[in-house]
Chains A and B, each alone.
Chain A
Amino acid sequence: MKIARNVAMMLVCVILGIMLSLQYKSVNYNQSLASFENKRLDELKDDLITLQNQKNSLQERLQELEQENQTYAKVKAGDSEAAQQIQNNLSKARIFAGLETVKGKGIVINLDNNGLVLVKDYDILNLVNELRASGAQAISVNDERIVAMTEIREAGQYIVINGKQMNAPFVIKAIADPDELERSLSLMGGVVEGLQEDMLNVSIKKADEIVISKFIDDGTSIKTDLLTPVE
């Protein structure tokens, strides 16, 4: 009798223990499920906001374009102001292409050989790429404007850019926010530090007005004869 009672008690306690642990697990699981779903919902909301922003900027862009086109349509009626706007548009493309001499705020980098350590083509290539990544809008190396298809090559003692031979010292000019440019160039482990580690002479100078001359198109260095525009 006593043994049977004790066994029953034990059974009840064991069942209770199992239930407790199951319960604990279940509640925990439910909570993690809830937080996971919350996260998914948040993500969805974020996506929606991003899409909304994208939509808004597209809307703005469309309005601008429609207005522009309305103005342009007046050209046919002989509106000189509209013609002027088209001219502006043409000149924007020329500026972007590097076919206009431009001025603006920026920095001037001097890069020179140090005794037997010579400036290599990849030193200039890296520097130019870093300038582009830091938001430079116009770059020149020894007054040779960097355009889309500008090559930087080493040929014997020379560096050749846009098909023109040049030698150290190199003066690299870039128009962009001078502070931002300086910050990203002098970053720890950045390009300038790399050049200094290579024992080259580098100096950076900020300037309020830098003039960068246009790409001189003599028809030999940048060709477009193989390109056909696609309508």
Chain B
Amino acid sequence: MKKHGSRYILLIVFLIFGIVLAVQTKSTLNTKKLAAAKTYSADMLKEQMVKKQAETDALKKAIDENVAAKNEIIKEYVLEQNDDQLAKDWEKVMLSAGLVDVKGPGITIKLDDAPARQPDTPLSWLIIHDQDIKVILNDLKKSGAQAIAINGERVVPMSEQVCAGPTILINGNRHAVPYVIEAIGDPDVLYGDISNSSRIAEMTEFNIRVEITKSKELKLSKFSGADKLDKYISGLEVVKK
């Protein structure tokens, strides 16, 4: 009886052993097969991505060229009208609304969150908020800035600066720290006013990194939506008096 008992145990043990072996082999083989198939399709996808990216870049270039051509035609047209007022007016519109790339003297403000947590200081005091950007922009405008860009995003009449989680939305695009604010205006006036502003003082108090530099020539790109204005004026109808 005892002999039979241990024989059964051995039988069961080897049975399980066999099953384990079979399942293991199957699982391993299966993974290898799947992995091969997936690498193949991942490679194909990547290849397609590269191709699409190249096509997209080419399209962007073509669009830029066409926009340039369009602006050229419009400029020629304006000049041909032999109307100084129109030409001057046109330039002012394009400049003040941020529809052309511009250069001029001004200042650059670089802002970055505090480098590390500080004991006894709430985290929210150590990071830059939409409020800070909004107030600094308003300060720049008070001091006579003529053109402003934040991280390359040109400030136009309806530019918003709102909080979107850890980022800030400007012209509908997300931007994260560090923030680089470039403003064209009188460098001395801008520098003096901004470095003495109460908001900047508050920020540096909590170790938020602020760096202000004057510069002889800043280059600001035009508004990212400059060549598709329809979207921004779709609800407006001109009232002629």
Binding site for B on A (CB under 8 A): 5, 9, 12-13, 16, 19-20, 23, 26-27, 30, 33-34, 37-38, 40-41, 44-45, 47-48, 51-52, 54-55, 58-59, 61-62, 65-66, 68-69, 72-73, 75, 83, 86, 89-106, 122, 125-126, 129-130, 132-133, 136-139, 146-153, 175-177, 211, 217, 222-230
B42 touches A175 (CB 8 A): no
Partner of A230 from the list B9, B42, B101 (CB cut-off 8 Å) is: B101
Q: Name 14 extra pairs, CB < 8 A, besides A52-B52, A62-B63.
A: A27-B23, A45-B45, A65-B66, A101-B239, A104-B235, A125-B135, A148-B97, A148-B159, A153-B142, A177-B235, A222-B96, A223-B146, A224-B91, A227-B147
Partner of A12 from the list B13, B42, B233 (CB cut-off 8 Å) is: B13
Q: Which of B68-76, B119-127, B205-213 is the interface stretch?
A: B68-76
Closest CB-CB distance, A184 to chain B, in whole Å?
10
Partner of A129 from the list B10, B160, B232 (CB cut-off 8 Å) is: B160
Q: Report B-chain residues with C-beta under 8 Å of the C-beta of A44.
A: 42, 45-46, 49
A132 touches B100 (CB 8 A): no
Q: Is B82 at the interface (CB under 8 A from chain A)?
A: no
Q: Report A-chain residues with C-beta under 8 Å of the C-beta of B237.
A: 102-104
Q: Which of B54-62, B110-118, B174-182 is the interface stretch?
A: B54-62
B: interface residue count bin? 35 or more
A227 touches B55 (CB 8 A): no
A37 touches B35 (CB 8 A): yes
Number of A-B contacts (CB under 8 A): 245
A146 touches B157 (CB 8 A): yes
Q: Is B34 at the interface (CB under 8 A from chain A)?
A: yes
Interface residues of B, dominant DSSP: helix
Shortest Cβ distance from A93 into B: residue: B93
Q: Is B48 at the interface (CB under 8 A from chain A)?
A: yes
With contact pairs A9-B9, A97-B93, A137-B235 given, residues A230 and B73 touching in the complex (Cβ less than 8 Å): no
Task: Show 5 residue pairs from A and B whose CB-CB distance is below 8 angstroms, ordered by the A residue.
Answer: A61-B228, A75-B73, A133-B169, A225-B146, A227-B104
Q: Report B-chain residues with C-beta under 8 Å of the C-beta of A125.
A: 134-135, 138
B138 touches A47 (CB 8 A): no
Q: What mask results when residues 130 to 146 of chain B are scored 1 for a CB within 8 Å of chain A, else 0?
A: 00001100100110111
CA distance A58 to B227 in the complex (A): 12
Interface residues of A, dominant DSSP: helix
B55 touches A230 (CB 8 A): no
Q: Is B156 at the interface (CB under 8 A from chain A)?
A: yes
Q: Report B-chain residues with C-beta under 8 Å of the C-beta of A51.
A: 49, 52-53, 56
A55 touches B66 (CB 8 A): no
B13 touches A59 (CB 8 A): no
Shortest Cβ distance from B16 into A: residue: A16
Q: Is B1 at the interface (CB under 8 A from chain A)?
A: no
With contact pairs A226-B186, A230-B100 given, residues A48 and B48 touching in the complex (Cβ less than 8 Å): yes
Q: Report A-chain residues with C-beta under 8 Å of the C-beta of B200.
A: none
A62 touches B66 (CB 8 A): yes
Q: Report A-chain residues with C-beta under 8 Å of the C-beta of B59.
A: 55, 58-59, 62
CA distance A12 to B35 in the complex (A): 34
B97 touches A96 (CB 8 A): yes
Q: Report A-chain residues with C-beta under 8 Å of the C-beta of B102.
A: 227-230
Q: Report B-chain residues with C-beta under 8 Å of the C-beta of A92.
A: 229-230, 233
CA distance A26 to B241 in the complex (A): 80
Shortest Cβ distance from A45 into B: residue: B45
Q: Report B-chain residues with C-beta under 8 Å of the C-beta of A68.
A: 70
Partner of A33 from the list B6, B31, B229 (CB cut-off 8 Å) is: B31
Shortest Cβ distance from B231 into A: residue: A137
Q: Is B67 at the interface (CB under 8 A from chain A)?
A: yes
CA distance A106 to B236 in the complex (A): 10
A65 touches B63 (CB 8 A): yes
With contact pairs A93-B94, A148-B97 given, residues A138 and B236 touching in the complex (Cβ less than 8 Å): yes
